[in-house]
Chains A and B, each alone.
With several copies, the nearest count.
Chain A
Amino acid sequence: MGRIVGGIGSSHAPSFGPVYDKGQQKDPMWAPLFDGYVPVRAWLEGLRPDLFIIVYNDHGNQFFFDAYPTFALGASEAYPQADEGWGKRDLPDMRGDPDFSWHLARSLVEDEFDPTICQEMSVDHGVMSFMPMLTDTRWPVPIVPFAVNVIQHPVPKARRLYKLGQAFRRAVESYPKDIRVVVFGTGGLSHQLQGTRFGFTDPNWDNEFLDRLETDPEPLAGLSHRDYMERGGTEGIEMINWLPMRAALGPAVRRIGRTYHAPMITGYGLLALEPA
């Protein structure tokens, strides 16, 4: 049987790309954030993971409003990088694990989730931007990307995402192979990209979210979209992507690492947990 051995929440941002590609992780503007990724990366490697499940959101690159999935589950052997409108970075395709993807599909459909299953799928900065901080860019660990609609309302409820994480755990534990799985959730933290509050961040809310996610996550599943967007900005609704990661770990966790930094117009955070 499979086992969930860790969970990582991380912000993603287009700006992480140039930082990594130009080796600026130690620059004063970025070091307060990316210094925190260094020990988490070492811990992650030490976990000897066989698979990453990555809950993220696309930003109008893989999916368009002709057919917009609430949930899209990748079931491909490879996930190329999307060109988001400003060219691709020099990164290889990410590797998939279709056997696990189809097992996950069966388990989720049995649990009354209704994913769209994608055998061709590119991934954008929602996956590609922070992963180089956490693992070798030859991508030694295969991924199962799981895209959540957080941009075209109605978006799924926080509660639904919490239940999704619990369903991930059932899927992993019912897998016939002894694989070690790390679940990622990525998005946010607070930011707003348009309207009178353009540039809004709220470090208080972001840190409260990180606190509660670690120690008492279930009430976060009860917050409304209005709660998330008033406190974290309209685009801060992405924070709900972190809930499946936390729910998949089970009630008790141990904190491995945590960082927060808001140098621009987004609250950037990292939280690494393992089941206690």
Chain B
Amino acid sequence: MLDEISGAAVFTGERSRAGYRLNRMAMSLTDPANREAFVADETGYLRGIGLNDVEADLVRRRDWKGMIEAGGNIYLIIKIAGALGIALYEVGAHTAGMSLEQFMAQRKGR
């Protein structure tokens, strides 16, 4: 099974199963009312939509790398970032084990 390519998770069915609740929560943020509710009360929203404590903690800690490892799909996870006003570059850099500044510095170097 193709599970990883050059240091990136391949989003397999098995990962989709593991990350189901997390991704479902992320997709709920395509509704503006849900985005508002999430931003107003993160903890309450995450509990209400059925995340377990480990998953909710990954979101609260903005642990994007951890979310991917827990089965988050990048296209869904960036909706969480979007609702929080966090840009894709910051999310992506984190999944690569870098800060945004490190990532931008490395890019310039290329």
Contacts and interface: CB of A to CB of B under 8 A. Distances in A.
A198 B74 CA distance: 11
Interface residues of A, number: 42
Contacts of A154: 13
B59 interface: no
Interface stretch (A22-30, A128-136, A156-164, A228-236): A228-236
B58 interface: no
Contacts of B68: 194-195
Nearest to B107: A199
Contacts of B13: 75, 98, 101-102, 105-106, 117, 152-154
Nearest to A228: B5
A228 B14 CA distance: 21
A83 B92 contact: no
Nearest to B77: A194
Given A65-B16, A119-B20, A153-B10, A60 B92 contact: no
A1 interface: no
A236 to B, nearest CB: 10
Interface residues of B, number: 44
A29 B17 CA distance: 40
Nearest to B67: A194
A82 B29 CA distance: 12
B32 A265 contact: no
A226 B2 CA distance: 8
B92 A198 contact: yes
Nearest to B88: A193
Interface in B51-110: 68, 73-76, 78-79, 82-83, 88-89, 91-93, 95-98, 103, 107
B73 A151 contact: yes
A233 B96 CA distance: 14
A225 B30 CA distance: 29
Given A83-B30, A85-B30, A85-B35, A195 B79 contact: no
A83 B12 CA distance: 25
A117 B17 CA distance: 11
Contacts of B30: 61, 82-85
A198 B90 CA distance: 11
Interface string A71-92: 0000100000011111100000
B13 to A, nearest CB: 4
Contacts of A86: 82
9 contacts: A59-B75, A75-B13, A86-B82, A105-B13, A193-B75, A193-B88, A194-B96, A230-B5, A234-B5
Interface of B: 1-2, 5-14, 16-17, 20, 23-24, 26-27, 29-32, 35, 68, 73-76, 78-79, 82-83, 88-89, 91-93, 95-98, 103, 107
Given A106-B1, A153-B11, A230-B6, 6 more contacts: A98-B13, A151-B11, A193-B75, A193-B88, A193-B92, A226-B2
